Amino acid sequence: MKICILSRNENLYSTKRLVEEAKKHGHETTVLDYMDCNILIEGGNPLLVVNGKNIALPDAIIPRIGASKTYYGCAVVRQFEMMKVFTSVKSQAIVRSRDKLRSMQILSRHGLGLPKTAFSSHPEQIKSLMKQVGGPPIVIKLLEGTQGKGVVLAESLNAAKSALDAFFGLKANIIIQEYIKESNGRDLRVFVINGKVAAAMTRQGVQGEFRSNLHQGGEAHKVRLSKLERETALNAAKALGLSIAGVDLLQSSRGPLVMEVNSSPGLEGIEKTTGKNVAGEIIKYIEENAFKKSRDKIGA
């Protein structure tokens, strides 16, 4: 089988691990920078072109789309979908998960536990909104932020007002969220593949830091999930239509709360912490489902 990994950097840990595992399974593997792809659209004949040549279609793609390139990256994934190529994560699901507000609205509709969240275009209403989400303190997040960047803890009304004035001054879209004190800078990362938990770890922020991201200096440890934590993670990925997802949960006094669902979760932290071959599980998922799609196509 021919597998194409859509990644901007073939030297990233996640990309290298996927290539390694695909080759172990006997598959022909290529890494393609999706930003180099040109999209051609005409009736009944969608094409992708790189350096003036039509791309030879693979049997499956694994999108590793960076947050800052979501729009173009998803357009490329969508073009592959139009050309009947199996994708491990669908373009629409990536778009859904990248919009923090939209994803939380969807998760709320499915009855999943969430931190109280507010969204407004009026900074002067911050005082009433802070009360609505149980603050201060409150967490202020850029809708486009990733890996803990663009996230601020405001411990007072004045601090919140200053942060919001700065964000609004930059015309940035933000949400404000309830601060879950009992989580104490700790969260759970649950790696979901095809409706099953492949691995899970707990992440703890450095002392004095409320963000637990490993990119911000946090530590990680293998963890055994409770039944409710497992169900919450699986239901969150399902609600957003993600076959592969990194679901971040906060442990609160009212049960697990979904903080974020990542459509291109990194493999390095989860594999090194848990010792699980997550990349191999992704390849197995593609084998099972890409082959099934081919059989269904032939049968049709």
Is 60 exceeded by the pLDDT of residue 244?
A: yes
Is 60 exceeded by the pLDDT of residue 27?
A: yes
What pLDDT, in 10s, does the model give residues 106-122? 999 999 999 999 887 76
Q: Domain boundaries in the chain?
A: 2-89, 117-179, 182-263
Is 80 exceeded by the pLDDT of residue 135?
A: no
What number is the average pLDDT over the span 174-199?
90
Predicted confidence at residue 300, as pLDDT, reads: 42
CATH architecture of 117-179: 2-Layer Sandwich (3.30)
pTM of the predicted structure, to 2 decimals: 0.87
- Mean pLDDT lowest among 4-13, 163-172, 199-208, 221-230: 163-172
Work out the angle at residue 50's Cα, subtended by the Cα atoms of residues 48 and 55, and round it to the nearest 5 degrees: 50
Residue 63, both tokens: 């999108």
> Does this chain's domain 117-179 share its CATH topology with 182-263?
no
Omega of the bond leading into 136 within 30 degrees of 0 (cis): yes
> For the chain, what is the HEC assignment?
CEEEEECCCCCCHHHHHHHHHHHHCCCEEEEECHHHCEEECCCCCCEEEECCEECCCCCEEEECCCHHHHHHHHHHHHHHHHCCCEECCCHHHHHHHHCHHHHHHHHHHCCCCCCCEECCCCHHHHHHHHHHCCCCCEEEEECCCCCCCCEEEECCHHHHHHHHHHHHHCCCCEEEEECCHHHCCEEEEEEEECCEEEEEEEEECCCCCCCCCHHHCCEEEECCCCHHHHHHHHHHHHHCCCCEEEEEEEEECCEEEEEEEECCCCCHHHHHHHCCCHHHHHHHHHHHHHHHHHHHHHHC
Q: Which CATH class is domain 2-89?
A: alpha beta
CATH 3.20.20.80 fits 182-263, yes or no: no
Predicted confidence at residue 299, as pLDDT, reads: 45
pLDDT band (50, 70, 90) for residue 42: confident
Is 60 exceeded by the pLDDT of residue 186?
A: yes
Helix (H) or strand (E) holding 86: strand 86-87
Distance of CA 202 to the CA centre of its chain: 17
